[in-house]
Amino acid sequence: MEAVHGHDHAHDHGHDHPTGLMRWLTTTNHKDIGTMYLWFSFLMLLTGGTLAMGIRAELFEPGMQFWRPEFFNQLTTMHGLIMVFGAIMPAFVGFANWQIPMMIGASDMAFARMNNFSFWLLPPAAILLVTSFFVPGGATGAGWTLYAPLSVQQGMGMDLAIFAVHIMGASSIMGSINIITTILNMRAPGMTLMKMPMFVWTWLITAYLLIAVMPVLAGAVTMLLTDRHFGTHFFNAAGGGDPVLYQHVFWFFGHPEVYIMILPAFGIVSQIIPTFARKPLFGYTSMVYATASIAILSFIVWAHHMFVVGMPAAGQLFFMYATMLIAVPTGVKVFNWVATMWKGSMTFETPMLFSVGFLFVFTMGGFTGLVCAITPIDIQIQDTYYVVAHFHYVLVAGSLFALFAGVYFWLPKWTGHMYDEKLGKLHFWLSIIFFNLTFFVMHFLGLAGMPRRIPDYAPQFADFNMIASLGAFGFGLTQLLFLYVVVKCIRGGEKAPAKPWDGAEGLEWTLPSPAPYHSFETPPIVK
């Protein structure tokens, strides 16, 4: 082996590290970058949340209250785009940054400078998205899926959204290349693939999915751009194209995308449940294989979003069965989490509460997904509030709750302080109650035929909508409590030991709390 040239950390600790704003602008440290990702995504959560409040205010009662219909469409569209690309995805990347190097025994990510670039691409994208509200014609109102032909006809806001998607895609691809390389090449000696923590596994597979599908989304919006401005006819029948083509390309990205948003959540929950059940994860190997099969299957189910576009029956049957097949590995996971808790000596600190909450409510979302997957049923409920209920069960109670669980779980490691357990529990109970208040009733609305993405509705839907709006306002306010708990924990609190949870396992707990600036300067040996 050729001589290895180490970077002697003892030398560069004292000098060479800018402070103040420059520290954050130029940092190459995975913890700094992880922190920025997490704060950015929280800011986006509040932004997207504000838009959601605007939606629910309008829907509080029938009739037009606050907004013009066009602006209402902009609210739903931008709410979706900001939540998916600004809040949920960056939050998971923030977790990856903080945790993966610590969990695999590395000192940092493989490409520390590119890591900073991936993060700093997000603010420009967010600026493009948010300013699009203020250009002539306003933001795009085509829905977060940006379906043609509507998206071909919109104003300049649409172009800003397209470029924002390009930039966020570049950010995701760089971030994923970094994560994959870190996992494949920076593991401590002895940390074989099948010894990696589940969170690391799920991110390895998520990063693969991201690299595979973000370029396809870039292709889809590029075709939109040329159809809008350069006279191509990809999505226009007059030129031999087809608006349905857009849906195919978009959902080829879109369905793997929903797994991109849930697999790391599975990973977080798989770290937390064993900790508080004080038992190793049941069926680790099957968890790994289940994750991998979900990822592979996610490429062949996309047209379950398109059951009403006029597909041949053979296509509908294929996509229906393929979709149902995904329920098998998903079921394996749910089974394993439950089996992990079986006969465990469980305690219910906030991370565990959020994880168990996740388990209940995410599973409900999985079931409604199965209902949507049944073609004859989906033909009735497509584009109704039933679908809105489904994906908020998996995205809010799935991804977002797992994120909350993870924050509470690792906050002691990140800040060196314990969070306020009482307030954390309050945050959980308020969240789960308001969440169900908001979204459970949407199932009924959808089954009764209320379409999604409309600013006004028939009077018979009034009661349920009022409940949903009240729940939504409560849910929104509750997240300010979360902000308070986190800030309080950063600023002080009971000192956290290296391993604040007695059932916790993994390399990150061998480091002191708060974790040192460079996680492992020399690789630890994993037996």
Partner 1 sequence: MQAAQHYYIPSPSHWPIVGSVALLFMGFGAALWINHIEAGPWVLVTGLVILAWMMFGWFGTVSRESETGTYNTQVDISFRWSMSWFIFSEVMFFAAFFGALFYMRELAVPGLGSGPTGEYLWPMFKSGWPVSGPGIEQTFTPMGAWGIPAINTLILLTSGATVTWAHWGLKKNNRGQLNFGLFLTIVLGISFLCLQVYEYVHAIHEYNLTLQMGAYGASFFMLTGFHGFHVTMGTLMLIVILFRCLAGHFKPEHHFAFEAVSWYWHFVDVVWLLLFILVYWL
> Could you say which residues in the range 94-153 bind partner 1, by CB under 8 A?
106-108, 110-114, 116-117, 119-121, 123-125, 127-128
Q: How far is CA 185 from CA 177, 195, 246, in A?
A: 12, 15, 37
Output the six-digit token pair for 210.
């991201």
Contact between 387 and ligand HEM per CB under 6 A: yes
**Can you say how many angstroms the Cα of residue 525 is from the centroid of all Cα atoms in its chain?**
33
Least Cβ distance, residue 162 to partner 1 (angstroms): 8
Residue in the block written with tokens 């038992």: 279
By CB under 8 A, is residue 521 in contact with partner 1?
yes
338 binds ligand HEM (CB under 6 A): no
Cα separation, 29 vs 516, in Å, equals 11
Enumerate residues 6+ apart whose C-beta is below 8 A from 346: 276, 277, 278, 352
390 is catalytic: no
Nearest to 354 by CA among 297, 276, 418, 295: 276
Separation of alpha carbons 369 and 255, rounded Å: 12
Catalytic residue among 107, 140, 172, 176: 172
434 binds partner 1, rule: CB under 8 A: no
Distance CA 97, CA 92 (A): 9
Q: Which does 373 bind (CB under 5 to 8 A by kind): partner 1, Cu ion, ligand HEM, none?
A: ligand HEM
Which residue among 31, 304, 453, 499 is the active-site one? 304
The number of beta carbons lying within 10 Å of the beta carbon of residue 267 is 28
Instruction: In whole angstroms, give the CA distance from residue 124 to residue 128.
Output: 6
- Which residue number places its CB atom closest to ligand HEM? 369
- Binders in 243-282 for partner 1, by CB under 8 A: 244-245, 248-249, 252
Active site residue 41: no
Using CB under 6 A as the binding rule, whether residue 142 contacts ligand HEM is answered as no
| Cα–Cα dist 320/406, whole Å | 33
Alpha carbon distance 8, 238 (integer Å): 65
Which H/E stretch holds residue 411? Answer: helix 401-415
- Contact assessment for residue 370 and residue 327, using Cβ atoms and an 8 Å cutoff: yes
323 binds, among Cu ion, partner 1, ligand HEM, none (CB under 5 to 8 A by kind): ligand HEM
| Selected binder of partner 1 within 18, 63, 69, 492 (CB under 8 A) | 18
Closest separation in Å from C-beta 292 to partner 1: 17
Q: Please identify, using beta-carbon distances, which residue of 143 and 219 lies nearer to ligand HEM.
A: 143
Q: Which residue's entry shows tokens 């570049």?
A: 170
The binder of 455, among ligand HEM, Cu ion, partner 1, none, by C-beta within 5 to 8 A per type, is none
Site string for partner 1, 477-516 (x = CB under 8 A): ----------------------------------------
- 8 or 345, CB closer to partner 1? 8
Decide which of partner 1, Cu ion, ligand HEM, none touches 346; Cβ closer than 5 to 8 Å per partner kind. Answer: none
CB of 135 to partner 1, least distance (A): 8
Applying the rule CB under 8 A, the residues between 157 and 196 that interact with partner 1 are: 159-160, 163-164, 166-167, 170, 173, 176-178, 180-181, 184-186, 189
The answer to whether 367 and 398 have CB atoms below 8 angstroms apart is no
Chosen residue from 30, 79, 255, 453 binding Cu ion by CB under 5 A = 255
Which residue(s) pair with 384 in the sheet?
451
Rounded-to-integer distance, Cα 279 and Cα 104, Å? 21
CA–CA–CA angle 61, 64, 70 (5° rounding): 125
* Alpha-carbon span 146 to 130, nearest angstrom: 16
Among 28, 145, 236, 293, binds ligand HEM (CB under 6 A): 145
Q: How far, in Å, CA of 162 to CA of 164, rounded?
A: 5
Contacted entry of partner 1, Cu ion, ligand HEM, none for residue 372, CB cut-off 5 to 8 Å set by kind: ligand HEM
Q: Which residues bind Cu ion (CB under 5 A)?
A: 255
Q: Which residues bind ligand HEM (CB under 6 A)?
A: 145, 258, 261-262, 304-305, 323, 326-327, 330, 366, 369-370, 372-373, 378, 382, 387, 390-391, 394-395, 398-399
Mind telling me the catalytic residues?
79, 108, 144, 171-172, 255, 257, 259, 270, 304-305, 330, 333, 452
